[in-house]
Structure 1
Amino acid sequence: MEIISVQYPIGESALARDASPKALAIGHFDGVHRGHQNVISHAMTCARAAGLQGAVMTFHPHPKEVLGRSPHYNASLTPLEDKLERFRRLGVDVVYIVQFDLDFAKVTPAEFVDDVLRPLRVRRAVVGFDFTFGARGAGKPETLWALGEPDIGVEIVEPFMQDGDKVSSTRIREALMNGRPEEAAELLGELYAVRGVVVQGEGRGRTIGFPTANIRQEDGFFVPRQGVYAIMAETEGRRYPGVLNIGVKPTFHDSLPEPVMEAHLFDFDGDLYGKTVTVQFVAFLRTEKKFGGVDELIAQIHADADQARTLLTAYNKK
């Protein structure tokens, strides 16, 4: 898969790297959820049928982040690296990463078609039913269809429905904010995951019989609701079941400047310091709370671990 970074106006270097005619799926695709997968797969099918290259155009950073329209878009369901990996799994040949800035935000729908799509030799554009483009979102799928004539055909993909409602990044974020990772997984088509590096913590977990990995998540990931979760964790090519807490450790602290993420991996014996861990959220167990003492906390951790083992055993048998 070739990855090409593009800044408006498109430079000759970007055009020279790939002059092949192509079918192009266009969108931000945060999460690359089942609805996005439907759009991209449709574009790849169109490409194969017409003998074109199968391409995706995404925008970085998210337009809502640049334009300040949402407090949640300073973090992504899939930061760019993860998004690209999902595109690769969908069989995409070429990815265009368009730098979204305030200048690009002023581009009109007509300029987008004439100065971006046509120079890139797009012959078929595939978009979702709610796609918008151009300054102030003035362009709609029907606008793209009209502006594309006669040389750019436009395919408009209908919404992908799940449980009577359309699959969307917003719906996934709401599920994660409300402690429903199972719902998020259904919408994504896979478990929601964040990634981070294990750093030195307070070391208290080991003294009470539950050593934990203090995970400093990489920038850019949307973090689910605070609380305790059953998880699967992957590091150095191996996966481990476990239990994880996102919170401020109220039993030991009156306040922390920000929540911390601590994972206890079942049946793991080793040193994780400095290693990268990917945490997949399987189920929400409970909210974080302050306990009356260490013994009460230990009893609750045992209960959490037992519940997590039961849930994860069932999950891994699916």
Structure 2
Amino acid sequence: MEIISLTYPLNDCSDLLQNKKLAVAIGHFDGVHRGHQNVIRQAVQIAKQSGSLSAVMTFLPHPKEVLGHGDHYYSCLTPPEEKQALFAELGVDIMLVVKFDLNFASISPQQFVDEVLRPLQAEHVIVGFDFTFGSKGRGNAEMMRSLGNPGIKVDIVEPLYENGEKVSSTAIRAALEKGDIVLATTLLGRPYELDGIVVHGDARGRTIGFPTANVELSKPYVTPCLGVFAIKVKVAGKTFCGVLNHGMKPTFNKEEIRPVLEAHLFDFHQDIYGESITIEFHSFIRSEKRFGSIDELIQQIGADALEAKQFFGIA
């Protein structure tokens, strides 16, 4: 999959796109969840049928971040590198990354069609039912259909529901904040993942019989609620089951500090300091709490590990 960065106003795009027409799915696609996948797969299918190139147009940074809607959207479900990998898995030919700045945010819906989509030779556009575009979101999917005529056909993909819950990035964020890992996994269509680096911690886990990998996140991810989780970890080319604590370590810390991620991997004895690590969340075990003694903590960690092993069928 080719990645093309674009800044408005666009230069001549004919060479970049091999003089081919595009079937392009447009959206921010944070999470690349099952609803997003429906939109993107439709673009891929149309491109194959018409002999055009399939493309995904996304925006960096998040429009809501640029337009001052708070820090909530500084954190993400899928950073650009992860989006890239997921788009490629879906069979996309080109990832178009449009720089979202105040200049781009000020263009009208008509300008977006005439000065962005037409220069890109987009002949087919696929968007979600709630897609908006142009200054202050004045354009919607139906307006794009009107403005694109003639020459640009627009397909509008209806929302996807799961047990009455609309599949959306907002719903996934809410599920993670509540510790509803099962719902987050269902909406995403895969386990939620975080990437990071194994760093040195205070080594207390080793002294109580449960050595942990302390993980420093590589991107500003949305993190699940504080608590203990059954996880799988990809590190050094292999996958291991384990249990993870996301929290303030209240038994040891009397004052609140920033949350830490500590993963205890089952039957694992390697030195992985400095290694890249991917954490998959599979089940929420319990909320974080303070224990009256180290012995109580050790007993609870043992119970947490057993619950995780039973979840994975390895107890």
Q: Under a length normalisation based on structure 1, what TM-score does the superposition of the two structures give?
A: 0.97
- Using the TM superposition, name which of 253-262 and 201-210 deviates more: 253-262
Once the two structures are superposed, residues 33-83 of structure 1 have per-residue CA deviations (whole angstroms, 9 ceiling, x without a partner) of 000000000111111111111111000111111112243211110000000
* Contact 1:24–1:125 (Cα < 8 Å) also in 2: yes
Secondary structure of 1:156 counterpart = strand
Equivalenced residue count is 313
Secondary structure of 2:3 counterpart = strand
Query: Partner residue of 1:270?
Result: 270
Q: Residues of 2 paired with 1:213 and 1:65: CA distance?
A: 32
Once the two structures are superposed, residues 239-280 of structure 1 have per-residue CA deviations (whole angstroms, 9 ceiling, x without a partner) of 000000011111001124310100000011110100011000
Q: Residues of 2 paired with 1:165 and 1:261: CA distance?
A: 29
Q: Which runs of 4+ in 1 moved over 3 A?
A: none
Q: Residues of 2 paired with 1:192 and 1:72: CA distance?
A: 18
Secondary structure of 1:16 counterpart = coil
Q: Residues of 2 paired with 1:256 and 1:15: CA distance?
A: 55
Q: Residues of 2 paired with 1:305 and 1:112: CA distance?
A: 53
Letter paired with 1:101: D
Query: Partner residue of 2:305?
Result: 305
Q: Residues of 1 paired with 2:35 and 2:237: CA distance?
A: 29
* Contact 2:193–2:281 (Cα < 8 Å) also in 1: yes
The percentage of aligned residue pairs carrying the same residue is: 52
Once the two structures are superposed, residues 124-169 of structure 1 have per-residue CA deviations (whole angstroms, 9 ceiling, x without a partner) of 0000111000111100001100100000000011111111232000
Query: Partner residue of 1:67?
Result: 67
Query: Partner residue of 1:133?
Result: 133
Gaps of 5+ in 1: none
TM-superposed CA distance for 1:104, in Å, is: 1.0
Query: Partner residue of 1:148?
Result: 148
Tell me whether 1:40 sits opposite 2:40 in the alignment. yes
Tell me whether 1:177 sits opposite 2:177 in the alignment. yes
Query: Partner residue of 1:87?
Result: 87
Query: Partner residue of 1:16?
Result: 15
Q: Residues of 2 paired with 1:183 and 1:250: CA distance?
A: 28
Letter paired with 2:232: M
Letter paired with 1:72: H
TM-superposed CA distance for 1:15, in Å, is: 4.3
Secondary structure of 1:225 counterpart = coil
Query: Partner residue of 2:233?
Result: 233
* Contact 2:195–2:219 (Cα < 8 Å) also in 1: no
Secondary structure of 2:215 counterpart = strand
TM-superposed CA distance for 1:219, in Å, is: 2.1
Q: Residues of 2 paired with 1:283 and 1:65: CA distance?
A: 31
Letter paired with 2:40: I
Q: Following superposition of structure 1 onto structure 2, how do residues 285-304 of structure 1 map, counting pairs within 5 Å?
A: 285-304=285-304
Q: Residues of 2 paired with 1:100 and 1:6: CA distance?
A: 9
